[in-house]
Structure 1
Amino acid sequence: MNMPSVDLLPIREVARLTGVTAVTLRAWERRYGLVQPHRTPKGHRLYTPDNVEQIQTIVAWLGRGVAVSHVRELLSRPNVSLDLDDSPWGEWRRGLLEGLLGFDAERADRVYNQAMSSYPMQLACERLLEPAIADLELRWNGQFGDAVERAFACTWLRARVSARIYHNNCLQPGESVLLSNLSEDSCQPGFWLLAAMLSQSGRRVELLDWSIPVAELGLVAERQPLQAMVLYGSQALTNEQLRRELPALMQQANLPVYFAGPASLIHHTGLQALGIVPTGESPCGAYAWVNQELRELS
């Protein structure tokens, strides 16, 4: 095959630019005939700028609730009217909840893997994982059985996200984004969802999954090249953290610092006064904010 004269991008770079993983891009191509890249003599995929634009269009349609199986028809016939009610998210959410509440990791994995192979990570978090977790947290109100259900769900999510981050980090040398959980309770699904999305956006992510003195985080910035620091808190901060530890960190760390989770709403004004960017409670909203700012800074 003769290669076009335009710049061609490898699949890893396209995944970084679009937020769609290489696994998902290959699945779109094989299962649905979407985004046909050029191939090198050895079979490696190379994408044109037009391919990248088409991927961004596909992501936009998926964000509007169109099932991936219908996107090809929309691309070929822009004026076609489709029924959006067959979106898989509702069924997947029910399946994931039934798997987690039934302590059935295999069933939860089937839903998770299907969603992750067909849709971008940010969309899967927005439409599947974050709503499912919100449903679970409404259910957990101190009744008998809540503790073991919560432990199972959090352990399941941590294991899947940790594996994904480890794999992605192996492909991403250079500066890291440090994500630190300041919550007293280490079972924080929002922390892990935010970590997953930051990792999938092409950033190396390092995690500290339990609360430590905030001022000590500056040592990480001294010893490792960091692009930014994201703090996550699920409850109100202590006076010690607000008046001494966070100011000490900001004096020591010469890099952007963001604060995500419910605590970013509780202390919005105080965090801003320290030069810390509060990003809101939602992991998806926090990711969108941090990712956009880091893109502008890079």
Structure 2
Amino acid sequence: MKNQPDTLAQDGGAGYQQALAESWLPIRDVARVTGVNAITLRAWERRYGLIVPQRSPKGHRLFSADHVQRIHTIVTWLNRGVAVSQVKPLLDTPQAFSTAVENEWKILRQKLTQAISQLAEREVDDLINQAMSLYPPRTLCEQLLMPLLGELEQRWQGQFGARMEQRFFHGWLRSKLGARLYHNNRQLRGAPLLLINHSDLPLEPQLWLAAWLISSTDCPVEVFDGPLPAGELALAVEHLQARAVLLYSSTSINLKQLTKLLHNVSCPTLIAGPTVCIHHTELSVSTTDCADLLLAKDPLAAHQMLLARGLI
């Protein structure tokens, strides 16, 4: 890039505008391009020195194409399971990667499990808030929250107090992510994605993970935490002018009722959750004539599929 910090400092606002004209990016645009929000980018700079942007005379952060590429590289390492505290040396010496970095994620999951077992809401909140400030949503789901939910499900098999812990954590997760969705929806415009809990089980944690992942792409999300009867799904799509529908289910479903439910739905539909594994063959066969029906086994796959199809 042609512009350097001494050039930016010459004349205040004019220097800032010149930098933008020469392809430097403000933090909001970098967040949109990379999928890493501004809070996380600031934390990476302040706490770990992972990314050091230019500054305008008024303190505005400005990022070059090299900065953006570095952020993409950081996200790649995070998605491989590397803790953010261990990324910096890998940016220059990637051969130093070791599976030992998994230990930090494991330790964090252990801390969360202990806090959940004690119904320590503030501790759970503090641990998750810290992680949310350091990692993009997809990385956090893949490396922390989905493995944590799997470990908790195993822990809760036949254990005294299991239902208590489950109700506590699932309720907390819904409140936490629901608040994020509400905040994001207030800032966003455009057609929402309609996400429906089709399993009729309350507090489905992976449904809320899917909602949060989708919302993090600057897509409004409307969540119905319970099934709709045949006919009313099409009505909801019409009222909301929804860009797509995601039906989440972790249980067996009635395929004949599903066909009736999807009748007259005028936008792409994605079915996600364990029900896709349960009914994979039947769903694949019965939906071959429906080009707009997609299948995904979990929130990460649903998020990726929606991105690939340009729906979010």
Structure-2-length-normalised TM-score: 0.85
Q: Which runs of 5+ in 1 are unaligned?
A: none
For residues 1-298 of structure 1, the aligned pairs below 5 Å read 1=8, 2=15, 3-4=18-19, 5-75=21-91, 77-78=92-93, 81-87=96-102, 88-246=104-262, 248=263, 251-253=264-266, 255-267=267-279, 268-269=283-284, 270-275=286-291, 276-280=293-297, 282-294=298-310
- Cα 1:47/1:202, change in 2 over 3 Å: farther
CA distance in 2, matches of 1:42, 1:7: 18
CA distance in 1, matches of 2:29, 2:188: 11
Q: Which runs of 5+ in 2 are unaligned?
A: 1-7, 9-14
- Cα 1:24/1:114, change in 2 over 3 Å: same
Amino acid at match of 1:176: P
* SS of corresponding position for 1:141: coil
Verify the 8 A CA contact 2:23 2:64 in the aligned structure 1: yes
* SS of corresponding position for 1:179: strand
* SS of corresponding position for 1:206: strand
Amino acid at match of 2:271: F
Verify the 8 A CA contact 2:250 2:275 in the aligned structure 1: yes
Q: CA deviation at 1:36?
A: 2.3
Verify the 8 A CA contact 1:272 1:278 in the aligned structure 2: no
Verify the 8 A CA contact 1:157 1:189 in the aligned structure 2: yes
Q: CA deviation at 1:40?
A: 4.0
Q: Give the count of matched residue pairs.
A: 290
Structure-1-length-normalised TM-score: 0.88
Q: Which moved more, 1:89-98 or 1:4-13?
A: 4-13
Amino acid at match of 2:295: P
CA distance in 1, matches of 2:265, 2:143: 38
CA distance in 2, matches of 1:37, 1:229: 39
Q: CA deviation at 1:31?
A: 0.7
Q: CA deviation at 1:140?
A: 2.8
CA deviation string 1:174-229 (max 9, x = no partner) = 12111111111122111011111111122111111112215312222212232211
CA distance in 2, matches of 1:117, 1:135: 23
Amino acid at match of 1:17: V
Amino acid at match of 1:85: A
Q: Which moved more, 1:87-96 or 1:43-52?
A: 43-52
- Cα 1:9/1:212, change in 2 over 3 Å: same
- Cα 1:243/1:17, change in 2 over 3 Å: same
Amino acid at match of 2:218: G
- Two-structure CA RMSD over aligned residues (Å): 2.2
- Cα 1:215/1:101, change in 2 over 3 Å: farther
Bigger relative CO (Cα 8 Å, ≥ 6 apart): 1
* Structure of greater Rg: 2
Verify the 8 A CA contact 1:175 1:225 in the aligned structure 2: yes
